[in-house]
C-alpha cells in the first residue's frame, strides 16, 4: 500500500470562538457537545423528499435542565426559526442568549448550563440583562459573526462574574423551542462589575488564518 | 482563558477544526493511496453560523459568485440548516466535491476552481450520496464525520487536487462552498475502476 501521510500546504484555518470582555479578547474553551450535535444535525438531511434537516441526537443534546432534547434548525409557516426561534433575546430575558454566572468550576464538554447563573434583576447579586444583537463583519480571512449583550449592575454592590455561556433557543422535536447551552467558559481572571457599571460581552465566531 | 495576542494567534489551533482524509481503493476494495490535511474553512461558514443565530442581514457568495442572504435557508419544503450530507447521489451541488485545480486557497474562495463533474464520461466521477456519522465525544474532544464516495468509470485516470464541502441554500436554491482544501502536486490519481473515499472530520476541543 502506498501511504502518503499528510498534506503539506499551509491550511487557511478553522473557526475560533473568541470572547471580548471589557475590551480584552480571549479564546473560548467551549463550544460544547450540544453545539456539535446541533451543527451535525444542521449539516445533514433528514430526508431529501421533505427537504428538512435532521434533529440533533438526543443522547448528545440536553437542555439547560439536563433533559435530552432533539433540537434542530426549524422552518414553519414562512419563518426561519433556526437556532434562535426567529428572534434575539430581548432586554430582561435571561433564559437564553449570552448568560453570566458566578461559579468557576472547570468547563466539561458535556456541560449543559451555567453552574450558578446570575439572575436578571436589581436585587442583591443580580444584573440587568440587555437585549442581544448579532452582526457580521471583519476582514478576510478573519470574518466573524458577532453576538453581543450588555449586562448592568443596578445594585449597590460589586458583583463577581466568573462564567459565561451562550444558550440557543432552537425548535426541539415534540417540545417546541427550548433552551440549549452551546458554549460555556470560565472567566479568568474574574471580572468584578462595580455598582452602576456595565459589562458588555461580545462572542465572535470567527474564521481564522 | 487564553488571551488573544500576536503570539497566541501564531501558536493556537482553531477551536473548531476541519480535517480531511482521502483514500483510493482499487476494484478489489484494497486501499492503495491515502492523504490527509486540515483546516480550510471559508468565510461563508462563519456567515452560515450567523444565519443559524438568526442574523437577517449578512450576505455571502454562492458558487456562481452571487450574493446571498445568510437567513435565506429555509423556504417551505427546502433545507432548514446548512445541509451537505445525507443526500446527493449524482449531485455536485451539495456534499463533498472534488476538483482538479490546486490553486492556493484563500478564505474568500466561493467554489472549487475546477470541479469534477458527475458521470462516466472523460474526466468525470460518479458521486454517491454523502452521509454524516457521529457525534462522538471523548472529553475534551467532540466530533462528527461527513463522508462520500466517488467512483471512476471514465476509462481514464483522474487526478484530484482539490476538495471541499458544498451545502445547499434552500432560499434561492443556491449552493455555498463551506470549505476548500488543496492537494499539492502531483495530486492523487484515481484510475478507471477505482474509487475515492473522502472523509471530513469536524471537531471541537474544550
Interchain contact, A25 vs B81, CB within 8 Å = no
Q: With an 8 Å Cβ cutoff, is B175 touching chain A?
A: no
State the pLDDT at residue A72: 85
Distance from CA of B35 to the nearest CA of A (A): 5
Nearest by CB to A27, from B15, B41, B79: name it.
Answer: B15
- pLDDT band at residue A99 under the 50/70/90 scheme: very high
State the pLDDT at residue B188: 97
Q: How far apart are CA A87 and CA B82, in angstroms?
A: 19
State the pLDDT at residue B80: 66
State the pLDDT at residue A77: 67
Q: ipTM of this model? A: 0.92
Look at residue B153 and tell me if it is in a domain.
Answer: yes
Asked if A83 and B52 count as a contact pair (C-beta separation under 8 A), the reply is: yes
- pLDDT higher than 60, residue B84: yes
Residues forming beta bridges with residue A13, ordered by sequence position: B40
Q: With an 8 Å Cβ cutoff, is B90 touching chain A?
A: no
- pLDDT higher than 50, residue A2: no
Name the helix (H) or strand (E) containing B45.
Answer: helix B43-52
- pLDDT higher than 70, residue A184: yes
Q: How far apart are CA B189 and CA A132, in angstroms?
A: 50
Pick from B71, B67, B39, B55: nearest CA to B178: B39
Non-local CB neighbours of A194 within 8 Å, separated by 6+ positions: A153, A158
Better-predicted residue by pLDDT, A206 or A90: A90
pTM of the model: 0.92
Look at residue B7 and tell me if it is in a domain.
Answer: no
- pLDDT band at residue A78 under the 50/70/90 scheme: low
Look at residue B6 and tell me if it is in a domain.
Answer: no
Residues B185-194, mean pLDDT to the nearest whole number: 97
Interchain contact, A144 vs B46, CB within 8 Å = yes
State the pLDDT at residue A49: 63
Q: With an 8 Å Cβ cutoff, is B23 touching chain A?
A: no
Asked if B134 and B151 count as a contact pair (C-beta separation under 8 A), the reply is: no
Interchain contact, A15 vs B37, CB within 8 Å = no
User: What confidence tens digit (pLDDT) does each residue in B17-72 have?
Assistant: 889 999 999 999 999 999 998 878 887 887 777 778 877 777 788 899 988 876 55
Look at residue B84 and tell me if it is in a domain.
Answer: yes
Nearest by CB to B206, from A19, A109, A144: name it.
Answer: A109
Neighbours of B182 (CB within 10 A): 24
For residue B18, the 8-state DSSP code is E
Q: How far apart are CA B36 and CA B182, in angstroms?
A: 10
Name the helix (H) or strand (E) containing B52.
Answer: helix B43-52
State the pLDDT at residue B83: 84
Interchain contact, B43 vs A54, CB within 8 Å = no
Q: Which domain holds residue B191?
A: 17-205
Q: What percent of chain B has pLDDT over 90?
A: 56
- Three-class DSSP labels, chain A: CCCCCCCCCCCCECEEEEEEECCEEEECCCCCHHHHHHHHHHCEECCCCCCCECCCCHHHCECCCCCECCEECEEECCEEEECCCCCCCCCCCCCCEEEEECCCCCCCCCCCCCCCECCECCCCCCEEECCCEEEEEEECCEEEEEEEEEEECCCCCCEEEEEEEEEECCEECCCEECCEEEEEEEEEEEEEECCCCEEEEEEEEEECC
- pLDDT band at residue A8 under the 50/70/90 scheme: very low
- pLDDT band at residue B79 under the 50/70/90 scheme: low
Nearest by CB to B15, from A15, A42, A83: name it.
Answer: A15
Q: How far apart are CA B156 and CA A200, in angstroms?
A: 60
User: What confidence tens digit (pLDDT) does each residue in A110-158 have?
Assistant: 999 999 999 999 999 999 999 999 888 888 778 788 999 999 999 999 9
State the pLDDT at residue A9: 43
Chain A residues with CB-CB distance to B96 below 8 A: none
Look at residue B9 and tell me if it is in a domain.
Answer: no
- pLDDT higher than 60, residue A6: no
B93: left (phi over 0), alpha (psi -120 to 50) or beta: alpha
Interchain contact, A2 vs B35, CB within 8 Å = no
Pick from B180, B23, B189, B141: nearest CA to A207: B180
Q: How far apart are CA A167 and CA A84, in angstroms?
A: 9
Mean pLDDT over each residue of chain A, to the nearest integer: 88
- pLDDT higher than 80, residue A5: no
Q: How far apart are CA B186 and CA B197, in angstroms?
A: 18
Residues A44-53, mean pLDDT to the nearest whole number: 74
Q: Could you report how far apart the first and last alpha carbons of chain B are, in Å?
A: 11
User: What confidence tens digit (pLDDT) does each residue in B117-140 have?
Assistant: 999 999 999 999 999 998 999 999
Nearest by CB to A43, from B16, B32, B83: name it.
Answer: B83
Look at residue B2 and tell me if it is in a domain.
Answer: no
State the pLDDT at residue B74: 46
Look at residue B49 and tell me if it is in a domain.
Answer: yes
Cis amide linkage into residue A189, ω under 30° from 0:
yes
Look at residue B74 and tell me if it is in a domain.
Answer: yes
- Split into its structural domains, chain B has a count of 1
Amino acid at each position: 500500500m502506498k501511504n502518503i501521510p499528510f498534506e503539506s500546504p499551509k491550511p487557511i484555518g478553522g473557526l475560533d470562538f473568541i470572547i471580548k470582555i471589557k475590551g480584552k479578547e480571549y479564546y473560548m474553551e467551549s463550544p460544547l457537545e450540544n453545539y456539535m450535535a446541533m451543527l451535525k444535525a444542521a449539516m445533514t438531511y433528514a430526508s431529501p423528499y421533505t427537504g428538512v434537516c435532521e434533529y440533533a441526537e438526543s443522547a448528545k443534546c440536553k437542555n439547560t435542565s439536563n433533559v435530552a432534547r432533539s433540537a434542530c434548525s426549524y422552518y414553519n409557516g414562512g419563518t426561519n426559526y433556526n437556532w434562535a426561534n426567529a428572534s434575539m433575546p430581548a432586554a430582561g430575558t435571561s433564559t437564553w442568549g449570552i448568560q453570566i454566572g458566578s461559579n468557576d468550576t472547570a468547563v466539561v464538554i458535556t456541560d449543559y448550563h451555567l453552574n450558578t447563573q446570575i439572575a436578571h434583576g436589581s436585587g442583591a447579586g443580580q444584573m440587568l440583562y440587555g437585549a442581544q444583537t448579532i452582526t457580521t463583519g471583519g476582514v478576510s480571512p478573519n470574518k466573524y459573526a458577532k453576538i453581543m449583550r450588555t449586562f448592568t449592575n443596578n445594585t449597590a454592590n460589586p458583583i463577581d462574574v466568573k462564567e459565561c455561556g451562550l444558550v440557543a433557543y432552537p425548535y426541539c422535536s415534540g417540545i417546541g423551542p427550548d433552551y440549549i447551552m452551546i458554549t460555556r467558559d470560565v472567566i479568568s481572571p474574574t471580572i468584578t462589575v462595580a455598582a452602576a457599571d456595565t459589562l458588555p460581552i461580545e462572542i465572535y465566531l470567527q474564521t481564522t488564518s | 482563558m487564553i488571551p488573544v495576542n500576536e503570539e497566541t494567534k501564531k501558536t493556537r489551533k482553531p477551536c473548531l477544526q476541519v480535517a480531511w482524509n482521502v483514500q483510493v481503493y482499487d476494484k478489489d476494495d484494497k486501499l492503495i493511496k491515502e492523504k490527509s490535511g486540515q483546516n480550510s474553512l471559508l468565510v461563508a461558514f462563519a456567515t452560515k453560523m450567523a444565519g443559524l443565530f438568526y442574523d437577517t442581514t449578512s450576505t455571502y457568495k454562492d458558487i456562481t459568485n452571487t450574493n446571498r442572504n445568510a437567513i435565506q435557508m429555509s423556504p417551505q419544503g427546502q433545507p432548514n440548516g446548512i445541509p451537505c450530507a445525507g443526500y446527493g447521489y449524482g449531485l455536485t451541488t451539495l456534499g463533498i466535491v472534488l476538483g482538479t485545480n490546486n490553486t492556493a486557497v484563500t478564505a474568500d474562495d466561493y467554489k472549487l476552481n475546477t470541479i469534477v463533474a458527475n458521470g462516466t464520461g472523460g474526466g468525470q466521477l460518479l458521486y454517491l450520496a454523502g452521509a454524516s456519522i457521529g457525534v462522538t465525544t471523548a472529553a475534551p474532544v467532540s466530533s462528527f464525520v461527513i463522508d462520500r464516495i466517488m467512483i471512476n468509470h471514465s476509462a481514464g485516470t483522474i487526478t484530484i487536487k482539490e476538495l471541499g464541502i458544498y451545502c445547499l441554500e434552500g432560499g434561492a436554491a443556491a449552493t455555498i462552498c463551506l470549505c476548500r482544501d488543496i492537494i499539492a502536486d502531483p495530486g492523487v490519481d484515481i484510475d478507471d475502476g477505482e474509487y475515492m473515499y473522502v472523509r471530513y472530520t469536524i471537531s471541537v476541543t474544550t
